[in-house]
Amino acid sequence: MEQGKVFLVGGGPGHAGLLTLKARRCLETADVIVYDRLVSPRLLNYARADAKLIYAGKDPHGDKTAQDAIDELLVRLARAGKSVVRLKGGDPFVFGRGGEEALALEQAGIPWEVVPGVTSAVSVPAYAGIPVTHRGAAAWFTVVTGHRADGLWDAPAAAACSPSVRCLAAGTDAPGVAGESKPGPKVVAQNDGTLVILMGVHNLPRIADGLIRAGRDPQTPVAVIRCGTQAGQQVVRGVLADIAERVRALGVKSPAVIVVGAVAELCDRLAWAERQPLFGRRLVAIGHTQEQAAAMADELEALGAEVLDIALERAAVVRPSDVDTLVDAVLRAGGGRRAVCFSTPLGVHLFFARWRALGLDVRRLAAAEFAAGCPEVADALQEYGVVADVVDDPPEASRDREAVPIRLKAWSQRVVRHGGRLIVEGLSDVAAGRLGVGVRDGWEWRRLYDWTCPAQADAWQRWASEGVDGVWAAGPSAWTGLILSGLAERLRLPEPDWWSSDGWSADRVAPPSGWRVAGRCGGIDECRAGEAAFVMER
């Protein structure tokens, strides 16, 4: 068996848009993806449908996956001939233990490659409006870890640091290299550039006290940025003398980045991310296809929201024989009137995907009629150059889910009355029965796919458990698919009691005690105009 390869891939600080192109290519071709807790679930949507996803997160306040176990897993998967992506938050080689994993792979003789990511040491301050270097304020910056209480901050002082960009491990200048001296607080304190501390919230009192005792001015500006680049981004400002108490009083916990230096004062003037209309919102975008869901999510992210995009095709298991039967029925339309009523956009995409796979000429559709069960289905047909002969009334015109589609009913009865054959694509025969025709009248029902639990469901559930502010679905049919797939219940998304013209729902999942929805907007256009989509107030 040919040996596989492991790619140590940086997933960035949390915002899905900060992934590199090379990292995306690795995700799209991997057999297995071993991912961390802080990785955006949107990144897992790049995985192949048959790729295996393995969670290997380290929750500082909960379950942890031992590093030795992760190293062994990567080796075992590669020896089984798999192409493996080890997806890590930030950059694998900046306090991400990527060096340890690389050494383990090297020792085992496993081919490996590192794909650098956008490190939180620079990107998180940038999203808070803090440049780590600034003319007249900081000519260099130093990155250190504050994760360990017995390392950098308690070690004896060493020689002064040179003015350069330096990453120091907790305890040694070169991680994994024996015999190096340990820099102490004085070394860092004497560096008058910007000090960026990762994983240091828990030890912040000791860090601040150590820097002051080592000679750093107690009035040095400090900013602590929690969940940078994400909806939960929170910035706490202070000085070395009081920052620990401010953070404690506000209950700020990891993940957070600490910035010490004059540049920390700039966040009050340069807080650009907080000015976006959907800043701080956690939204779910539901589309029928991966392309549609991703486009919806990109639009929301451009307005400042943190988004989880769910494509229903991920939860669909195609029934090839039923798709072929539908295609064959349309091909025989030349021998008699044939009409197809599509109930779901995904059904449309499956039909035309098979049509193209068979190399069929689109002109052979001329003898067939097409109906759309809702406007979203009509839009899907138009993507393939087909204008529906009839479209059901917009679903928001009535809240009665059992209401008979008047236009479709009249059309379908006309088809069978003239001796035609009606094929109804849908998720159940109930949809066909509501058209007012029966088997004896000449219709047949075809279900083109079943539902399953997609591999991304675990990651989606972890993301949604932190709270969801609203849902944007590609119409009620997308929401119906989410319910039938079981994902709505698993993600604890309540069924909306109303829809706007483009599918917005402002229902909030498990709102904090004492909060209520104070305002709702009519959709993406109002958000683009600068109005918040979901206004929560006490």
* Cα–Cα distance measured from residue 125 to residue 255, given in angstroms and rounded to the nearest whole number: 13
Q: With contact defined as beta carbons under 8 Å apart, do 461 and 490 qualify?
A: yes
Cβ–Cβ contacts within 10 Å for residue 215, how many? 11
Q: How far from each other are the two terminal CA atoms of the chain, in whole angstroms?
A: 62
Residue 158 CA to chain centroid, in angstroms? 44
Residue 292 CA to chain centroid, in angstroms? 14
Per the structure block, which two tokens stand in for 136?
């007249």
Place of tokens 């596989």: 4
**Residue 36 among the catalytic residues:** yes
Active-site annotation holder among 22, 58, 154, 393 = 58
Q: With contact defined as beta carbons under 8 Å apart, do 309 and 291 qualify?
A: no
Cβ–Cβ contacts within 10 Å for residue 498, how many? 11
Place of tokens 């029925």: 329
426: helix, coil or strand? coil
Q: In sequence order, what are the beta bridge partners of 390?
A: 371
Q: With contact defined as beta carbons under 8 Å apart, do 78 and 105 qualify?
A: yes
CA neighbor of 34 nearest in space, from 2, 71, 79, 80: 71
H/E stretch holding 331 reads: helix 320-331
* Cα–Cα distance measured from residue 404 to residue 30, given in angstroms and rounded to the nearest whole number: 47
Residue spans of beta strands (DSSP E) within 76-165 = 83-88, 112-115, 141-145
* Cα–Cα distance measured from residue 494 to residue 501, given in angstroms and rounded to the nearest whole number: 19
Active-site annotation holder among 36, 91, 379, 507 = 36
> What is the pairing mode between strands 282-287 and 443-446?
unpaired
CA angle 11, 14, 17 (to 5 degrees): 75
**Residue 58 among the catalytic residues:** yes
CA neighbor of 47 nearest in space, from 32, 37, 62: 32
**Residue 199 among the catalytic residues:** yes
CA neighbor of 100 nearest in space, from 59, 142, 72: 72
Place of tokens 């995009």: 309
CA within 13 Å, CB half, 165: 6
Per the structure block, which two tokens stand in for 91?
């950059």
Active-site annotation holder among 199, 296, 392, 507 = 199
The phi-psi region of residue 104 (left if phi > 0; otherwise alpha if psi is between -120 and 50; otherwise beta) is: alpha
411: helix, coil or strand? helix
CA neighbor of 201 nearest in space, from 223, 167, 169, 224: 224
Per the structure block, which two tokens stand in for 267?
């966040």
Which residue type, as a one-letter code, is found at position 281? Answer: R
Cβ–Cβ contacts within 10 Å for residue 139, how many? 13
Active site (catalytic) residues: 36, 58, 199
